[in-house]
Structure 1
Amino acid sequence: MTIECALSAPADRAGAILTIDLGAVVENWRRLSARLSPAPCAAVVKADGYGLGAAAVGRALFGAGCTRFFVAQLDEALALRAALPDPQILCLGGLPARTDSTFVHHRITPVLNHLGEVDAWAAVCRERNTALPAAIHIDTGMNRLGLSPAEVDELSADPTRLTGIGLDLWMSHLACADEAESPVSGEQLARMTAAVARLPKAPVSFANSSGIFLGSAYHFDLGRPGVALYGVNPTPGKPNPMVPTIRLDARVLQVRSVDLGMTVGYGAAHRMPRAGRIATLGVGYADGYFRSLGARGHVFVDGVPAPVVGRISMDLITVDVSGLADGAVVPGKLVELIGPNRPVDTVAEEAGTIGYEILTSLGRRYHRDYTGGDAGKKAV
C-alpha cells in the first residue's frame, strides 16, 4: 500500500522569510531617474543585486526601462547576461588577463582601470577589426581603481592609444558623496571636469546614489546608483527619499519562562533582571543577522518592540518578550527583524555598520518571497 503525503511548503520549513519588493526597487529607480533627468539612470547590481538577487532585480528594472547595468566582477556579469540577453552590462573590475574573449563573446563592456588595460583592449579591437565598447575609469581621489593623474597626462598627450576602442564612457567615483558638506566631492568634481576636458570626447558618469543628490553639476551624462535602489538612505541625516524594498521576518521556535537571575545564551552574557519570557527565533549570524546585534538589536512583534538579549548564535537569537501579553508570542509566529518598524538603516546603526553590509549579508537560508515586478519574478 502506498501512503501519499503532502510535502511541506518551503516557507513553512524556513527559519525566516525575506520578502523582496521588486516594485519598490523599480519605484526607487524611477525616483532617481526623475532627479537625474535629462541624464539617463543606470543600475548597479553587483554583489547579487546588493543581496536581493541580481537576476530578479535586473529583470524588473529592465522591464521598467533600465538599459545599463554595472557589476563588479566578470562572473557576476556572466550570470546577469544569462538572465538579461539584451541590455548593456559593464564590469567595474577591469580586464583580467586572458579574459578578453569572454568579454567579447558575452558582450560585456569592461571598465578599464589603468593604461595597461587600455592598451590590451585596444589591441583586442585592432585584432578583431571591431570598435568594441569600453568605459575608462579616472581616479579623482579614491586611490583605488582608475587612471592615475600621471596616466591621464600620458593619455591626453597621446590619445592615439585609444585607437580602435569604441569609447563608451569616462567615469569616476565619489569618495564622500554621502557627506553633503564635505569639500572632497567638489574637489573631485573639479578634477574630473579638468580631466575629461583634455581627453577625447565621450559621455561621462560620475554620480553614485548619494552623488545624485549633490546637484546637477554631478549628473553629467549617466547616473549609476546602487544602494539607493534597494532602499538605503542616500542622504544620511535627512528623511529617506527612497522606499523600503525588503522585509525580514523570523519564526519563533520556542517560548520559555525564565526566573530572576537566570542566564540566557552563550557565555551567560545576559542575566534576567526579573522573571519573564524568552522567545527563541530561527535566525542567526550564519544568516547575516550580525553578532554585534546581541544585547543591542530589537525586533517587533505585532508592532511592539522587544529587545534582543544574550549573544547572537549561528542559527538562533533570543528576545525578551516579557513585556508582551501572554499568548502574543507562540511557536510558529513571525517576528519582524527588518521592515516598517525596523528599517535597514536602523538595524545597521544598531549593528555598528552601514546599510550596504546589512543587505549584502542577507543569508541564503531565508525563504525568499518576491513581490511586484512581474518581469523579475521569472528570474527566481
Structure 2
Amino acid sequence: MKKIIMTGGGSAGHVTPNLALVPKLRKMGYEIEYIGTRDGIERKIIEGEKIRYHIISSGKLRRYFDIKNFTDPFKVVKGILQAIFIMKKVKPNIVFSKGGFVSVPVVIAAHLSKIPVIAHESDITPGLANKLAAPYCTKVCVTFPESIKNIKGDKAVLTGTPIREELLKGDAAQGREICQFIDKKPVLLIIGGSLGSKYINDTVRGILDKILVRYNVVHICGKDNLDEKLSGKSGYKQFEYVSEELPHIMSSADIVISRAGANVIFELLTLKKPNLLIPLSKKSSRGDQILNAASFEKSGYSMVIQEEELNEEILADKLEELYRNKDRYISKMSSSPLKNGVDEIIRLIEKHSL
C-alpha cells in the first residue's frame, strides 16, 4: 500500500484542497497521514476526517518586524527534526503540501529524507511559505496561468485548484429548506472568508432591508460575527460557519458576494455562480486577493469592488448590475478552460511517488 503525508495549515484555505484529494487517494489505496501544528485550524478539520495527525513545532513566517522573528527560526529547525523522525517512521512514498507556515519544515524534512514533494499554490503569486519551500519541491501545482512565471525553474504545472467532490452534489431545494426560505425570491449568498469580514458584514447589514425586498439572503459571517438582533428576520439566515450544509447552500445561491481567496473563487467558477468579489486590501494582506480578483474580472467570471471603494450605495448598485447580467457571467464561466484540479494533481502524485 502506498503512503502519502499531507501538510498545510494556518487557515482553512490551506486545508480544504487537501481534503478534495482524499476520497480519490483512498479509492486508489493510499494510506494518508497528516503533519500539522498542535493548535492550528488544520488539526480539528483533519482529525474530523479520521486521518492520523502528527504534531510538529513550527514558527510563523512574517514579512514584517517582530521580536519573534528571532526565536521562530529555532522552532522551524525543531519542526524539521520532528518531521524527519516522522518520515523515517511512516516511510511515505510522497508528500503533498498545501502551504502555510507549518509546511516549510515538512517539505525540507521530506527533501532531506529523499522523498518527493508535490506542492500546490492557490494564488497568482506564491505565499512566503511556498516561496521558501519551492526549492525543495519536485513540482509546484499552480491555479492561474499567470502563476507559472512566478515559480523558478521548470517546476510549475498548471493544474487548477482541487474542488471537493461533495461540493458538486448540492441540492438547491435542500439549501432553501436549511435557510427556511418560504418564498421564491432569488438567493444571495455572502461569504466573508473562514474568519468572516466585519467590513463586508456591516455594509451588507446597513442595506439589508433594501436587499431583502428582492432577495433571500444567506450570510456566512464568521466566528463571533452573528447579529442577534437580526435572528429570526424573514428572508435572512446567518451562520458563523457552514460545513456539511455548504454544498446545498451554495447550490441554492443565484448570486454571491465573496472575498477573493483562490479556493472560494474557483469553487464559484466550478459551480458557475455569478459573483461580486471584494478582495482583502493591501492594508491587511499581501495583495494576493486583489490579483486573484483582477484575473477573474479580466476573464469575465466576476465583478469586483475594491475594499477601499465599498459603501452601501455602491454595493446596492453593483448587486443589481450583477443580477441583471448574471446570464453573461454564467456563459463566461461555462466556457472557462480552468477545471477542477483533482485529477491532474493525482496524476502528478502517481507519477512522482517512490
Bin of the TM-score, shorter chain as denominator length: 0.3 to 0.5
Return the index of the structure with the highest Cα Rg.
1
State the TM-score, normalized to the length of structure 1: 0.31
**TM-score, normalised on structure 2?**
0.33
Relative to its length, the structure with more helix (as a share) is 2
